[in-house]
Structure formats: C-alpha cells, structure tokens
C-alpha cells in the first residue's frame, strides 16, 4: 500500500488497491473487474487478511485527512447535539388498559420503554435499551410487541448491523419492573430466544406463541414461523414458505386483532394470506393468487362469522391504487369502494370501528381523509396550516377511538404531534419538537419550485434557506429516486448547520420516487432508470439558472440507491459539484444484479432489470453503473462510507468503486473512504454516534466548498 508502511508513520498518500486481472462475459460482452478480489470469498464472514488490510488502510487515510478538521467536527457535533432535547419523552398513547411511551434520559444514546395503567398506578419500565446496549459496539432494537393482555413482551435486537435480529421475551409483572426471564423447558429465559429473524413479531390470541419472519443464510425472508414460548427454536413450526426466490414475507396483525396477515411480495407483485389469531396453526386463507404487476395489502372488519369484510388496497385497475372490499367468504371477489385516480395517489388506509382513514398524495403533498362505512359520500379531509408539509397517522393502536394521533412537520416547522378530534374535526397540539439551543422559524423561508428537465417534465423541488441569504451562494442538493420512496419536505435540526452557514438546502423530488404518484415511480425504473440521474442534474442546472447557486458551489449527498445516484452524476457532470457524499452507495450495479446468490438480487430484478436473461437490461445497467463508468477525468471531492456487515449494499461495492476512482481520476481532489467495521447499512447506532457521522459529513462539505464558520 503506497504510503502505508506503518500505521504510526505520517500518511503521505492514499492506499492503492492491488489490480488483479479478472473478467466475466455475458451476452457476448466481456467486462473487466480488476478489483473483484475485494469481495471476501467467505462473505458474509469477512476474514480475508488482504481485504481487511485494505479497508483498514482506507480508514487510516480517512482519519488522517479529516484530522486537521477535528475542531470543526467537534463544534458541529456540539451544535447539532445542542438542538436535541436530551431528556425527552414521547406523548403517551393509550392501548387497552395501558398508556405507553418512550423516553430518552439526559446523555443517553438509547431509549427506555415505559407504561402505566390507565386507571392509575406507578410507571412500569418495560424495556431498557440503555442496559441492553451496554458494552456493545453496535445495538439496534428491531420489533417490540406486547401480548394482547399486556402480560408479556417480545422484542428483537441486532448487535452487529447485519439486520439479523434475535427475539427475546419478558414477562411484564406489573408495578415496579420486569421479570428477568420467561421460564422455558429448562427454566431459563434463553430457551425462548429465536435467532435470525427480521420484521414484525405478532402474538397469538392465546399469548402462548409468536409468529415471525425468518432470515435464511442468504438474508432472504421467505419463511413465516411460529414459536411456542419456552420451547427450543429448533422446534418452531413453518406456517408459510414462499417458493419464489424473489419474494419476501412479512407478518402483521389486523386492526381488530382477530386476524394475522401474511404478506409475500417483491417490488411489483404481492400475495396475502389470513390466519385466525386464535388458531395460528390453521390453514392460511389465500385472499387472491399473485398476478405479476399487481400489488395489494388488506385488513379485515367485522367479527360475526360469515359477515366479515376484507378491505383491499390495490393497483390492479389503476396504477395509483384503488380501495376495494370483498366478503371474507370470497376474498378474491373485489368490489371498488374508492376508485383509482390520476389526481389522488392512494398510499394506504386504516380501519377503525366507526370510520376508516385513507392516506395519499395530491400534487405531491400528503393528504389524510376520514371516511364512513355507512355513508360513502361523506369525506372529511384533515386540513393543515401550511402549503407544503409532511403529515401522516402516527400510532393509533385502538379499534375504538374518537381521536386520531397525527404527526406533522414542514421544512421550517419542527415536528408536531396532534390529536385530531374526528367528531369536532379539530386539531389539538400535544407536543412540538423542542430545540434547546433556540429556533426562530421566521428567520427561514421555504419554497416549492418546478424545474423543467431535458425531456420537458416538470420536477418539483423543495427549498429552505435563511431569509437573509444573498446571491448565488452554496447549496446542498439531496435526492433518493428509487423503489417508489418519496422524500418528504420535513424538518431537520441537523440541516440547520448548513443553512445557518449560508446554504440553501434543496430536495429534488426526482422520478424513481413516487412523490407524484405511481407513474412518477415507473418513469425512473427499469428501462427509464436514467431519467432519475438526468432529473437530478437538470434540477441542479435549473437552480443555477435561477440564481440560487453556481457550478462548483453545490454539495450533494445520497445513500444506498441514492448513493448510486451520486456515482452516476459524478461520472456524467463532475464539474457541477463542489462536494459529493455517498453513503453505502449501490455503485456496482451490474455485478450485483448478475449475482443471484447475493441476498437481495432476485427480488431486485423488477426494479433494475435482469441482466442475466435480458441483454438489453445488461447493456443499460452497464451504461450507467457507476463502477463500470468510472473514466479518466477530473472528479469532484468525494466522501464515501460503507458498513462491513451491511446485507443491503455489500461493503465491496463502495470499496471497488473507490479503488477504481483512485486508479483513473486525473484530479488532485479529495477522495476519502470509511468503512464502519462493526456496523451495517444504517451506519453507527445510538443517537449521538449518528450525529458524529453527520458532523463529519458536514465538515467535509464545508471544507471542500471553502465555507468558514
């Protein structure tokens, strides 16, 4: 490694990965991949000494280059931390006989989960994440599920970022605390541990078992199992196993808690089965057989046998989805309740005893409507105070309720918790996010722009900046643009560290997300994937033309598929960007989509195309895959991150990309790469550790754009 003779010596040059000739051929095309060796052949175990040595050398180079900026990093971290109310609690939510809430203590990285009886009584600590995380380099809580009577607790944890969770159980014993164990066959709590799980945990009505989704050796989730409390997990019963390698399975509980819902699907097709919660070993009832391209999800209303109604949210007749109903006795006979619409994108629904709620977007903005079972014409939209915002239902566990708990925020309005009185049609503010170091919303302005892309499509852009900002200054541009995931115009205290230093902060609502409906998503996937990259570049150019910024004064960031976006636009338009931050970037798209042994690949083909079988998909993916398109040219300053245990974007993707960039780029700009050796896709755990990583990112941006302060 050039310049790496000894880790204690002064580092004078970045590490250069060895080139080891390797190539592969598909559809008559040979592709060179000289850095393929960075994939440890023993993955998911990474033990290859040469691979680890290279990653550690890159980490040392990262630390060396960032070392002169530690004072700024620390100042940014303190600034960001100062905007967080450290001793904080959520608004209690009633569920049955209990009120539940979570709480952060001063200085704590993790939460505590509390409850108390509605009828009165002392607070009870159900789960202490602080204690569970003690001594762990990484800790992330997965699912938390209280049994129907409130007597038992099931929860899952991940201790290395691999997203393989272990379920454990506790007996809630009332005032004063929790039991240390649920006795098993040998009288030990550990007898009821279940390893290798992912997703939600659902209790049986009898509270003697839970259903969960199992993660197999390839991190695929095709199996739903039942675990009897106190038994050995080796005895768990398979409730459902999907035969399709591309499908993933999940489990949920219906709104009335009478039915367990088994969902299987990929990125474009789904299939649902139902099981009585009181009889989880019953034969699952299929709602409707899968049909390629048809997605649906369901819930059930009614308890009288023979009169239950299935509600179905589906895109079978309109890409923006409709809401249909069917009798449980014939769940595949769907009758439209709310028709699909070009103007309203129906994203979901929730059932309650006396009414139901639909959520969606109109012109890209969140909408929530209350509707009534006995009066289809009665529609009551919930009206919010700003023209641009993010809003949605937020934890409404009870079937019979007269109020809806809502979350709300905008780019200038801190997160707010409301109760909406359904009868009075009024909002009651329960909590507004507190910013201890101070925040004056009147100092900031937000805009919603439209910028025309090269093909004539109008791309929405959400902007926030200080009102005293002058001239074309620095601007940070963010986007994701994949999987139909919208980026909401929400609030961020972290973002203020750029905005208060003269940046405008822009979110480009590019195609590939579903910000403007399902057609918007489809216009950025498969054969139209390059629209996503072009939209982002054209938004940047449009912001320059409108005087918000200038070429070379734009910092950009994205993660995962958004990191792919970063790589693509760094290749295509390097002169636009003053700094590029790519977190766990999906940049080795061609190799990953050609490798069906990788955890997610079969399920990703509906999103990106299958280059194994389809030459057109092979050629298209190769034409934009950031790793494959690195060339000898000047590149902007780049900061890249990875997680050694990341099952979603494997560590070698960014490692290979950085290695090829180091080989070919012709500039002297910074290129730094950090691998979290004990974390996964989401970076380090803990609320302050994540802030430290944000402070590093912002310090890099400020350094590269020459912004003081």
- Tens digit of pLDDT for each residue in 546-582? 999 999 999 999 999 999 999 999 999 999 999 999 9
625 pLDDT more than 60: yes
Measured between alpha carbons, how far is 415 from 490 in angstroms, rounded to an integer? 8
pLDDT at 176 over 70: no
Backbone dihedral region of 59: left (phi > 0), alpha (psi from -120 to 50 degrees) or beta?
Answer: alpha
Residue 393, pLDDT > 60, answer yes
> Residue 413: phi, psi to the nearest 5?
-110, 120
Q: Which homologous superfamily does the CATH classification assign to the domain defined by 23-81+438-705?
A: Alpha/Beta hydrolase fold, catalytic domain (3.40.50.1820)
- Per-residue pLDDT averaged across 297-316, rounded? 94
Averaged pLDDT for residues 510-528: 97
Query: Which of 109-113, 457-461, 490-494, 678-682 has the least mean pLDDT?
Result: 678-682
What residues are labeled active site?
560, 646, 681
Q: In the chain, what are the domain boundaries?
A: 23-81+438-705, 86-135, 143-286
pLDDT attached to residue 306: 81
Residue 397, sorted as left (phi over 0), alpha (psi -120 to 50) or beta, turns out to be alpha
pLDDT of residue 704: 98
Give ∠ CA 150-156-158 in degrees, rounded to 5: 160
Q: DSSP characters for 197-226?
A: EEEEEEE-TTSSEEEEEEP-TTS---EEEE
146-158: average pLDDT: 95
pLDDT at site 221: 87
Hey, is 101 helix, strand or coil?
strand
Q: Is pLDDT at 173 greater than 90 in this prediction?
A: no
Residue 23 has pLDDT above 60, yes or no: yes
The number of CA neighbours under 13 Å toward the Cβ of 672 is 20
CB-CB contact of 513 with 480 (8 Å): yes
Do residues 356 and 324 touch, judged by C-beta distance below 8 A?
Answer: no
Query: 3-state class of 461 per DSSP?
Result: strand
Identify the pLDDT of residue 188: 42
Answer whether residue 2 shows pLDDT above 60. no
Strands (E), 254-334: 259-265, 270-276, 285-286, 296-301, 309-314, 322-327
Residue 686's pLDDT band (cuts 50, 70, 90):
confident
* Res 184: pLDDT: 41
Look at 80-84, 178-182, 329-333 and tell me which has the smallest mean pLDDT. 178-182
9 pLDDT higher than 50: no
The mean pLDDT value for 137-165 works out to 93
* Whether pLDDT at 181 is above 50: no
Task: Tell me the β-bridge partners of 167.
Answer: 156, 194
Rg of the chain over all Cα atoms, to the nearest angstrom? 26
Whole-number percent of the chain with pLDDT over 70: 95
pLDDT of residue 689: 87
pLDDT of residue 182: 46
Q: pLDDT (tens digit, 9 = 90+) per residue, 215-260?
A: 887 778 899 999 999 899 999 999 999 999 889 999 999 999 999 9
The least confident of 165-179, 639-653, 672-686 is 165-179
23-81+438-705 and 143-286: same fold?
no
Q: Summarize pLDDT for 421-460 with one digit per residue, the tens.
A: 999 999 999 999 999 999 999 999 999 999 999 999 999 9
- pLDDT for residue 6: 40
Confidence of residue 647 (pLDDT cuts 50, 70, 90): confident
Note whether 229 and 247 are within 8 A (CB).
no
Distance of CA 666 to the CA centre of its chain: 35
Q: Which residues of 18-49 are buried (b: 16+ CB within 10 A; e: fewer)?
A: eeeeeeeebeeeebebbbbbbbbeebbebebe
Beta-sheet pairing, 309-314 with 416-421? unpaired
pLDDT at 3: 36
pLDDT (0 to 100) of residue 10: 66
If residue 153 lies in a helix (H) or strand (E), which one and from where to where? strand 152-158
Mean pLDDT computed over every residue of the chain? 93
CA distance 253 to 276: 10
Q: What are phi and psi of 300, to 5 degrees?
A: -130, 135
Neighbours of 69 (CB within 10 A): 17
Tell me how far apart the alpha carbons of residues 1 and 9 are, in angstroms, rounded to a whole number.
13
What pLDDT is attached to residue 646?
84
Give the pLDDT score at 174: 52
Is 143-286 a CATH 2.130.10.120 domain?
Answer: yes
85's CB contacts (< 8 A; 6+ apart) are: 433, 434, 435, 436
């Amino acid at each position: 490694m050039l310049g790496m003779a000894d880790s204690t010596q002064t580092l004078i040059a970045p590490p250069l990965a060895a080139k080891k000739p390797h190539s592969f051929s598909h559809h008559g095309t040979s592709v060179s991949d000289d850095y393929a060796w960075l994939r440890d052949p023993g993955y998911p175990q990474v033990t290859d000494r040469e691979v680890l040595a290279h990653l550690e050398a890159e980490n040392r180079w990262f630390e060396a280059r960032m070392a002169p900026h530690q004072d700024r990093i620390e100042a940014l971290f303190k600034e960001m931390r100062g905007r967080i109310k450290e001793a904080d609690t959520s608004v209690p939510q009633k569920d049955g006989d209990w009120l539940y809430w979570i709480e952060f203590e001063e200085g704590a990285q993790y939460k505590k989960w509390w409850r108390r009886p509605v009828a009165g009584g002392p607070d009870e600590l159900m789960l202490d994440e602080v204690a569970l995380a003690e001594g762990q380099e990484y800790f992330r809580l997965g699912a938390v599920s209280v049994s129907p009577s409130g007597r038992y607790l099931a929860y899952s944890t991940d201790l290395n970022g691999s997203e393989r969770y272990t379920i454990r159980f506790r007996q809630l014993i009332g005032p004063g605390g929790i039991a240390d164990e649920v006795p098993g066959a040998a009288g030990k709590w550990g007898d009821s541990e279940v390893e290798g799980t992912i997703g939600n945990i659902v209790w049986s009505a009898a509270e003697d078992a839970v259903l969960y989704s199992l993660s197999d050796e390839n991190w695929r989730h095709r199996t739903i199992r039942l675990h009897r409390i106190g038994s050995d997990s080796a005895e768990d019963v398979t409730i459902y196993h999907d035969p399709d390698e591309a499908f993933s399975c999940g489990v949920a509980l219906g709104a009335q808690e009478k039915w367990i819902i088994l969902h299987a699907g990929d990125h474009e097709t789904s299939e649902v089965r139902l099981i009585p919660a009181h009889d989880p070993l019953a034969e699952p009832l299929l709602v409707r057989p899968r049909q390629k391209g048809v997605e649906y999800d369901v819930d059930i209303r009614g308890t009288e046998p023979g009169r239950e109604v299935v509600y179905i949210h589906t895109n079978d007749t309109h890409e923006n989805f409709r809401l249909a109903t069917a009798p449980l006795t014939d769940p595949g006979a769907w009758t439209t309740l709310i028709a699909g619409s070009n103007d309203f994108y129906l994203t979901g629904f929730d059932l309650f005893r006396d009414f139901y709620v639909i959520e969606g977007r109109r012109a890209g903005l969140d909408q929530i409507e209350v509707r009534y079972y006995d009066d289809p014409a009665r529609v009551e939209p919930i009206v919010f105070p700003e023209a641009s915002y993010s809003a949605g239902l937020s934890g409404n566990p009870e079937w019979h309720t007269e109020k809806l708990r809502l979350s709300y925020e905008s780019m200038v309005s801190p997160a707010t918790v409301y109760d909406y009185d359904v009868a009075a049609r009024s909002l009651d503010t329960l909590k507004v996010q507190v910013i201890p170091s101070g925040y004056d919303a009147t100092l900031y302005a937000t805009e919603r722009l439209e910028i025309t892309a090269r093909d004539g499509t109008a791309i929405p852009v959400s902007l926030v900046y200080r009102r005293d900002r002058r001239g074309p200054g620095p601007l940070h541009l963010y986007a994701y643009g994949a999987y139909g995931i919208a980026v909401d115009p929400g609030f961020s205290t972290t973002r203020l560290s750029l905005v208060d230093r003269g940046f405008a902060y822009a979110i480009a609502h590019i195609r590939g997300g579903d910000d403007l409906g399902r057609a918007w998503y489809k216009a950025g996937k498969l054969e139209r994937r390059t629209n996503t990259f072009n939209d982002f570049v054209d938004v940047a150019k449009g912001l320059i033309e409108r005087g918000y910024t200038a070429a070379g004064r734009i910092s950009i960031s994205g993660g995962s598929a958004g990191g792919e976006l970063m790589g693509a636009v760094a290749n295509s338009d390097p002169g636009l960007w003053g700094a590029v931050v790519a977190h766990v970037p999906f940049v080795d798209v061609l190799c990953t989509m050609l490798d069906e042994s990788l955890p997610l690949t079969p399920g990703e083909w509906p999103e990106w195309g299958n280059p194994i079988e389809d030459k057109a998909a092979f050629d298209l993916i190769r034409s934009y895959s950031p790793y494959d398109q690195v060339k000898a040219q000047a590149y902007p300053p780049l900061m890249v991150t990875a997680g050694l245990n990341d099952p979603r974007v494997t560590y070698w993707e960014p490692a290979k990309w950085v290695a090829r960039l180091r080989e070919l780029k012709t500039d002297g700009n910074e290129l730094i790469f950090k691998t979290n050796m004990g974390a996964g896709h989401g970076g380090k755990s803990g609320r302050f550790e994540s802030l430290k990583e944000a402070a590093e990112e912002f310090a890099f941006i400020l350094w590269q754009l020459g912004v003081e302060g």
